[in-house]
Amino acid sequence: MLKRKLGNSGLEVSAIGLGCMGLSYGYGPATDRQQAIGLIRAAFERGITFFDSAEAYGPYENEKLLGAALAPMRDQVVIATKFGFDFGPDGGQSGMNSKPAHIREVAEASLKRLNTDRIDLFYQHRVDPDVPMEDVAGTVGDLIREGKVKHFGLSEAGVQSIRRAHAVQPVAALQSEYSLWWREPEREILPVLEELGIGFVPFSPLGKGFLTGAIDQTTEFDKSDFRNVVPRFSAENRQANQGLVDALGRIAEDKGATRAQIAIAWLLARRPWIAPIPGTTKLHRLEENVGAAAVDLSADDLKSIETALAAIEVHGDRYPAHLQARVGK
């Protein structure tokens, strides 16, 4: 697979990464450990060298999983993880925490769980309104100088936070949701990333599975699947958004590709410093996603996609209100 550099940081990653959250958290029961290790290693065998985790995924279990799966090829991969939350005795998030001392504690714990001596990309998971961004960036900068972290990232941060962080410690990458059915980053985020030379790592590039065409208004999710509380995934909104999936299907058929491949290829065509991280628990979906790197969308193709989707209104918020309040800060 071709490689990409995340902005001006020099951090080189596979054009498509693997978002590992769903193996442990968020989309129903955790995947069997050996099966998950097999999937991660299969991703590496197919050219993926960029793996995304967080202490919050589980919590903690996802990092342990990556540490075990990637140990044999540690020096050939880029591992990203995140800090920024406290957790209660039951494992649930009990609030944000990006205090400098806590960032250091998380870094040390993540290094052990990941079975490594450095974190390649260390993201602040969400902007903490109680801790100045300068303190956060400065602390990660110290960890970089100590060799424990290689690069600093932000997740779901707004323009002002990005600027404030970057002024203290260069930000290698911003990770936020971006896809054919969530294009908000095009308004303010992409221009500032281009200006500052920061890479972009879109998560949920397949609209949390919806853009694949495998989900419709009759789909029932596991009780532990967080899509149950996402307004965009109400049965009514899924039905209303079906037109987007249908249009994507027509475009995919014309190109001899799948909906997922067109959705990922579209992101790759947006900027050369964008590296999406689709997640999956299934080998055939992994192979389908990897195949997107070989789908070449011409200027005419991209224009056709814009034209086809321009008339389609996407229904429903991407987060419930309490989670929406944490993003774009």
User: For the purposes of burial, counting CB atoms within 10 Å of the CB of 250, is it exposed (0-12), middle (13-18) or buried (19 or more)?
Assistant: exposed
Q: What pLDDT score does 138 carry?
A: 98
- Among 212, 185, 260, which residue's Cα sits nearest to residue 16? 260
- Among 264, 276, 281, which residue's Cα sits nearest to residue 211? 264
Q: What pLDDT score does 227 carry?
A: 97
Q: What pLDDT score does 118 carry?
A: 98
Q: What pLDDT score does 321 carry?
A: 93
User: For the purposes of burial, counting CB atoms within 10 Å of the CB of 154, is it exposed (0-12), middle (13-18) or buried (19 or more)?
Assistant: buried
Pairwise CA distance, residues 271 & 194, whole Å: 9
- Would you call 211 helix, strand, or coil by DSSP? helix
Q: What pLDDT score does 311 carry?
A: 86
- Spans in the chain with pLDDT lower than 50: none
Task: At 182, give phi and psi (nearest 5°).
Answer: -145, 95
Pairwise CA distance, residues 131 & 129, whole Å: 6
Any catalytic annotation for residue 319?
no
The CA dihedral of 247, 252, 258, 260, to the nearest 10 degrees, is -50
What are the tens digits of pLDDT across the range 96-133?
999 999 999 999 999 999 999 999 999 999 999 999 99
Whether domain 3-207+270-295 has CATH 3.20.20.100? yes
Prediction pTM value: 0.98
- Would you call 138 helix, strand, or coil by DSSP? helix
Number of neighbouring beta carbons within 10 Å of residue 170: 18
Selected catalytic residue, list 25, 57, 123, 178 = 57
What are the tens digits of pLDDT across the range 270-288?
999 999 999 999 999 999 9
